[in-house]
A and B are shown apart, each in its own frame.
Chain A
Amino acid sequence: EAGVAQSPRYKIIEKRQSVAFWCNPISGHATLYWYQQILGQGPKLLIQFQNNGVVDDSQLPKDRFSAERLKGVDSTLKIQPAKLEDSAVYLCASSLSSGGTDTQYFGPGTRLTVL
C-alpha cells in the first residue's frame, strides 16, 4: 500500500513570498489533515478535511493560510504572505474513515524555511 505523498520535501523562501504544498493521501482515505510542526514541538493541527469538506480549521491563520482538497483526494496548503514564524515542517496525514478512532498515517513532510 502506497503511503501519504507530499511535495516538495524542502522549500526556502523570503518573507512575504508565497508558497504552496501538495499532499496525496492514501487511496480511499476519507479524512485528510494538515499539521504544522515547529522544531522541538508536537504537531499542531491546522486543518482537517472530511472528503472535500472542512470539519476543523480553528487553528488555521486564515489571514495568510488557505487549503483546499480537490475532489476529496489531493490537497494543497498555501501560505501568502509567509512570515519568519512560519518556518516549520508541514505534515500531511490521512485516515480511513469519517469518524471513530482510525490510525493517522503521516507523509514525510515539507520543511519550510522562511528567511
Chain B
Amino acid sequence: GENVEQHPSTLSVQEGDSAVIKCTYSDSASNYFPWYKQELGKRPQLIIDIRSNVGEKKDQRIAVTLNKTAKHFSLHITETQPEDSAVYFCAASYGGYQKVTFGIGTKLQVIP
C-alpha cells in the first residue's frame, strides 16, 4: 500500500518568513495530493490540492509543487502570519475510490 513520509515534524518560523513542508510517497499510481490544516481541537480542513497532471499550484500565500519522477511534493507558505500556526498534513490518493493516506503531520509555529 501507499506510504507517505512528511518532514519536518515541527517547524518554527518568524512572522513574515516562508515555511516549507516536504512529503514523499511510495506508490507511483498516486494521482491526487491534498494538504490539510488542522488547528488545535478542530477538524482537518483542505487548504490546497494538486493533481498529478500539474507541477505547481498557487493560492494567494500558499503554493504546492509536485515532482512525479522523484515522488515528492511540497507545501510553501509565504509571508507567514500567526494564524498560520497549526498542524499541516500532506496526503496521497490513488485508485478509483480515492483511498487517502496521510502523512504524520508538521506542527508549524509562527512566532510574532
Contact = CB atoms under 8 A, between A and B. Distances in A.
B101 A45 contact: yes
Nearest to A41: B104
Contacts of B34: 103-104
A100 B95 CA distance: 8
Interface residues of B, number: 26
Interface string A48-92: 101000011010000000000000000000000000000000010
Nearest to A100: B98
Contacts of B103: 42
Contacts of A44: 102
Contacts of B91: 42
Interface residues of A, number: 27
B96 interface: yes
B76 interface: no
Given A48-B97, A48-B99, A103 B43 contact: no
Nearest to A35: B102
A27 B34 CA distance: 22
Contacts of A40: 104-105
B20 interface: no
B109 interface: no
Which of B44, B45, B91, B104: most chain A Cβ within 10 A?
Answer: B44
A42 B103 CA distance: 6
A33 B99 CA distance: 9
10 contacts: A31-B98, A41-B105, A42-B104, A43-B89, A99-B96, A100-B96, A101-B49, A106-B44, A106-B45, A107-B43
